[in-house]
Structure 1
Amino acid sequence: MKKPVILIALLTFVTLCAFTPPEGVKPCYLSLKKAGDLKAGPTDRLPADANNTRTLATEAGEIPITVTDGYRIIYTNKKKAPFVNLKAELSKPENYEQDKKNVLANLSYLNAQTTGMETTGKLLELDYNGYKAHGLSRADISEGETLGIFVIFPGDNTIIYLYFNNIEPAKSHFKTAAEYQGYRNNFIGEYTAHLAKCK
């Protein structure tokens, strides 16, 4: 008679564990598998022994941000060329607001230090589905390995980084800066639409 009771207790424990929310970056920020013709690759997690802080260059010098958990996903086009490098990082709760300010200061510094950018003096701000993406972007695709860097602050002590890669002509799905911007904006739109629906 004791065995069924033990079995039921064990099954109940396993069930409860299965529904316990995981600590760290929430699954919604990592679960977009496709955006247009772009497909997500494997999800890579930061090593458990990774440094919990990193520094960013700003006009005021090097400043820190906290990173307690992080993931990376690469989105590739039909020719398997990587177009979007998405990173989701978790800040310490007490540092989140300052980390956001420091990330924006870093992007502003990079934008000011680089020639041929889409905007000068301020960052781009793109609004989609109740989310705002702040970033910088090149005005031309003839040079540079990275065409754009954007961040989204969705809450949950999380910072989403979107790096848009330049692609060699033979494997690229865009031929002009305007086409690149269109694909960039489409990805941000689809990703934020996914966030708006995901619970």
Structure 2
Amino acid sequence: MKKPAVLLAVLSFIILSGFTPQTGIKPCYLSLKKAGDLKAGTADRLLADADKTRMLVTEAGEVPITVTEGYRIIYNNKKKAPFVNLIVELSKPENYEQDKKNVLANLSYLNAQTTGMETTGKLLELDYNGYKAYGLSRAGISEGETLGTFVIFPGDNMIIYIYFNNIEPAKGHFKNAAEYQGYRNDFIGQYTAHLAKCK
């Protein structure tokens, strides 16, 4: 290949690379390795060939949200029982605002349809480190596999889901609802502190 052709190829590569959109989930959302006594497992990528639209149930019927990429991390307690299921998903930029509304509508519907919840009529709102977590949570720990479900909208077209699992007494680290709520709030506080520092 002659020198002008080589130069042209290199310039073309640089130009095209410069206009390549920066996509994907930023490492900060996945890099919290420990929160108190909870330790993170590996960040497992959700199936790349999965449907890019997921339907959620709301009071008005089913609504879609978009998912272009996602990861899941499990945080285990000292007895290696999974307490936190963290899912980080990336929405399509043009759908992000509507996706946020649809996720909140879904949580509000689930909260209204489930008995024994910590709040009725509205979602819980927890503020930590400049981030707001919206969610629903059970008032007790005697039933239900999932005690709480929260979402955070940190920007960057991201939706962060935090599921708090109920744990059998032999492997658990909380004995009542108040202790569960303390560990729940502590995790949200530490995760958002990590985001604030990392970003």
What TM-score comes out, normalization by structure 1 length? 0.89
1:21 is displaced (CA, Å) by 9.5
What is the CA distance between 1:22 and its match in structure 2?
A: 6.4
Query: What is the identity percentage for the equivalent residue pairs of Structure 1 and Structure 2?
Result: 86
Secondary structure of 1:112's counterpart equals: helix
Q: Which amino acid aligns with 1:192?
A: T
Q: What is the rounded CA distance, in whole Å, between the counterparts of 1:21 and 1:35 in structure 2?
A: 33
User: Counterparts of 1:34 and 1:73 in 2: how far apart (Å)?
Assistant: 11
Q: Secondary structure at the match of 2:75?
A: strand
> Which residue of 2 is the match for residue 134 of structure 1?
134
Which 5+ residue runs of structure 1 have no aligned equivalent? 1-16
Task: Let me know the Cα RMSD of the aligned residues.
Answer: 1.5
Q: What is the CA distance between 1:46 and its match in structure 2? A: 1.4
Cα shift at 1:25: 1.1
Q: 4+ residue runs of structure 1 moved beyond 3 angstroms?
A: none
Following the alignment from structure 2 to structure 1, what is the Cα–Cα distance between the partners of residues 84 and 40? 9
CA deviation string 1:100-128 (max 9, x = no partner): 00000000000000000000000000000
Q: Structure 2: which 5+ runs fail to align? A: 1-16
CA spacing shift, 1:164–1:67, aligned 2, 3 Å: same
Deviation at 1:47, TM superposition (A): 1.7
- Distance in 2, matches of 1:142 and 1:96, equals 36
Once residues 172 and 191 of structure 1 are traced to their aligned partners in structure 2, the CA distance between those partners, rounded to angstroms, is 21
Equivalent position of 2:167 in the other structure? 167
Name the structure 2 match of 1:27. 27
CA distance in 2, matches of 1:96, 1:168: 37
Q: Aligned in 2, Cα 1:64/1:21: closer, same or farther, shift over 3 Å? A: closer
**TM-score for the superposition, normalised by structure 2:** 0.89
Q: Is 1:84 the counterpart of 2:75 in the alignment?
A: no
Matches within 5 A, 1:27-176: 27-176=27-176
Hey, what's the Cα distance between the residues in 2 that align with 1:81 and 1:22? 36
User: What one-letter code is carried by the residue in structure 2 that aligns with 1:155?
Assistant: G
Partner SS, residue 147 of structure 1: strand
How many residue pairs get matched?
Answer: 182
Return the alpha-carbon distance in structure 2 between the equivalents of residues 42 and 80 of structure 1.
14
Matched residue, 1:9: none
